[in-house]
Structure 1
Amino acid sequence: MSNQGELLASSSGTTGIPAAAGQARKRMVTFVKGALLPVTLLIVWQLLGDAGFISKLLFPTPARIGTAGYNLVVSGELWENLRISIVRAISGFVLGASLGLAFGIMVGLFRGSERTLDPSVQMIRMVPHLAVAPLFILWFGLGETSKILLIAKGAFFPLYINAFLGIRNADNKLFEVAKVLGFSRYKQLVRLVIPAALPNLLLGVRISLGIAWLGLVVAELMGSTSGIGYLMSDARQFSKTPVVFVCIIIFALVGKVADSAVRLLERKWLHGRDSFQGQ
């Protein structure tokens, strides 16, 4: 009997090892495929720059950009400005996304709220960031308040819309069953509304993060004395093109990391969905 148990344990262990190795190999292949295009572009870019076919002032080579980034890291200037930008982005995102979620749920659940609030919200949504940025500066000055509110404006609408759509796309029979079971409003929200709207909510979070990051760029470029946007604007004024490219890369990398974190939550929380994964 003990021999059979040892045999089963050893067989399950041996089958687990190839499965893990296969998953690791699959992730490696995916990474290589994704890195193929950008690595090729960087190599071609470097070769064209060294050969003098492109302007080193307007398009500095990847080697010069890497050197500029290294100098910013060593001096500590990059980390300090990045920390300030991340704090601003998180503060604005939390404010805007939480309000967007609350208003989206309220408008999605109650038709009266939809008729009262949604037309005004949709009208404000069409106002561009650059149009309201001067007003925010006039009203709140050049301090942190105007920047955080500008970021919050961008983060509000994606979650508002996706929370509304997630609730309205839920099966109406679920709400009828909740009424029969006598669910309270809170219980209905926690056990029915949020789980039913979760795919849309996570999509809204992804879009809100991206727009909040874009709002940060607008806020820091229009009036700031710190942050990655300020660092980029200052480098532009003094024709430090490699530093401008470093700041652009930082914006892209941090945005990608934030988006990947939300996608990881999607895979974890929505793993049970049998959805199309592409061919």
Structure 2
Amino acid sequence: MIGSLLAAVLSSVGYGVSTIMQAVGARRAGGLGAVAQPLVIAAFVVDGLAWLLSLLALDHLPLFVVQAVIASSLVVVVLLARLVLGATMRRLDVLAVVAVVAALVVIALSGDEQPAVHPPAGFDAVMIAAAVVVAVGTLLAYSSGPPVLLAVLGGLGYSVAAIAARAAHADGDLLDTVLQPLAIPIVVGGVAGALAYLRALERGSVGTAAAMVSVLEVVVPGVVGLSVLGDFVRSGWVLPAALALLVALAGCVVLARSPANAAAEAGDDGVPVAAPTT
């Protein structure tokens, strides 16, 4: 369990570092040229490593713990934006960082070793259908859909990918995960979520989009994990875990709306360039 918790923390740090790397790289070239920047390419590699670490974390931890830790990458983004980009960090942001870290300690303590529970019959088909719905919704909304809808689709896409990854791990190691039907919603949900979120950042408020995605990718997988996938909270820790989860989410919303986060999510021309986790 300690190893899985460490993997979740490292995954969160990786996603936060990747966001800053993409922000710095985007400042060196405009538009699609930013994609060819070595720093941006390296950031994509870091993203991939962070994703693999999140899969390792899902081996033994409940979804609500892993997703809460990963959502806290906003802490890393805000702190690094202050140090690397010289972004403004409000006193409220400092309080939010402390609150999120303290809440994550409680959440981590509330999660016990989780058994590998096989999902119910028809679960694979439901997840594939959910991923397709999110993907189609993203395609339809991409051109002129409201930013709020795009942010919701982004959060749901990341949620589908996380839920499918947790369920897939009941059948074995990473190779087994890749070679089963649940790999489809992992990939489709993740890609659709990333596209929808980036478009939401481009067309709307960075803070609002980041906050909505952070909340959805914690709450939706957490509920499904507890109700369907056999995740559970340690005896006597239900209330502390629930309160800590609310505090962590509130802190993430504050950090998502921080000037430091906005600076990390935007290039020189103010166009958002980076996405959060899955």
Fold shared, TM-score > 0.5 on shorter chain: no
Higher relative contact order (CA 8 A, sep 6+): 2
TM superposition score normalised by structure 2: 0.28
- Larger helix fraction of residues: 1
Larger gyration radius, structure 1 or structure 2:
1
